Amino acid sequence: MSIAIVVSTHGSVATQLLKTTEMILGVQNNFSCVDFFSEENTEILAKKYFAELENLDTKEGVLFLVDIWGGTPFNAASQVIFNKKNYGIITGVNIPMLIEIFITRDDHSTFHELMKIAVAAGRSEIKALETTSQFKNESSVVSTTLTSDKQIKDLTENNHEGHMNIVLVRIDDRLIHGQVVTRWAKESNVKRIIVVNNEIALDLLRSNLIKQASPLDIKAHVVSIEKAIRVYENPKYANERIMFLFTKPEDVLHFIEGGVTINSINIGGMAFYQGKIQINNAISVNEKDIEAFKKLDALGIELEVRKVPSDSPLKLMDLIKKIR
């Protein structure tokens, strides 16, 4: 049997990529599409991966093809492949890559050879064509749109002289993933990301996987709430632009009660589980979450909901009131 292929992306892109590839090559076997949606998180997606692998022949290995390095599909796949022979991940999945993989994987290629072929095929078909000479010999063109000055100003209201320069405090149970890496980190120009979670700080594997998802030019740490409070007081970090990531509002409340001054909190993603109520397509809360948010609101802290900086901010407490 051939190497198993798992394609996973944000939204339903994975399914559409496979449909397009099969339009060209015909029906394929020993592969799976796993779509990732905004109400899910890394742990939920990893469980979906394991369930799909039960239906595949994995004796020759498993190759995950995902969209973004550091995104949730990548992070969940990192958990699956850890310490397994002939398991790997390639980012930047596209149709030329898929076509080449399905054509060559039955040619008795080794797992490592197939990965090299896939990366080369994906890169080779990224080209630009224009009637002017604007692009000259460049093989690709990247266009970057920055947020407005107002959006950047919104992110920098947590700065305090003598302490850490906290650019953003975000609640997102996916922690370091695509939206954080490609939008928030770049557009707020942070130099350090600090993930604050007592349980993950004690879990070496999860900590390493989370830090691995950070861009090379941004330092990443996973610490307990107590340590985060101590680090906040360290003057050596006063000139650095820093992002704090939390998984739940209760932890942010303890962080503030420890003496940290915060004016605003961005809520970007809280996955739906049994016992939670969904208040929008990315945020689900239980009674404990609501109680913590009420206390944060009573402290005068702005609680705004935005998945990415270009979204129009929503007031979290207004969303909570609607379920009451």
Per-residue pLDDT of 198-231, as tens digits, reads 999 999 988 988 888 888 889 999 999 999 999 9
Amino acid at 42: T
**pLDDT on residue 136:** 46
Q: List, for residues 140-175, the tens digit of each pLDDT value.
A: 433 333 333 333 333 334 444 567 889 999 999 999
**pLDDT on residue 115:** 95
Q: Which residue stretches of the chain have pLDDT < 50?
A: 133-160
Catalytic site includes residue 10: yes
**pLDDT on residue 146:** 34
**pLDDT on residue 169:** 97
Domains of the chain: 4-124 (3.40.50.510), 149-321 (3.40.35.10)
**pLDDT on residue 143:** 34
The pTM of the full predicted model, rounded to 2 decimals, is 0.70
**pLDDT on residue 285:** 96
- Residue among 108, 160, 177, 221 flagged as catalytic: 177
- Residue among 10, 163, 221, 254 flagged as catalytic: 10
Catalytic site includes residue 163: no
**pLDDT on residue 140:** 40
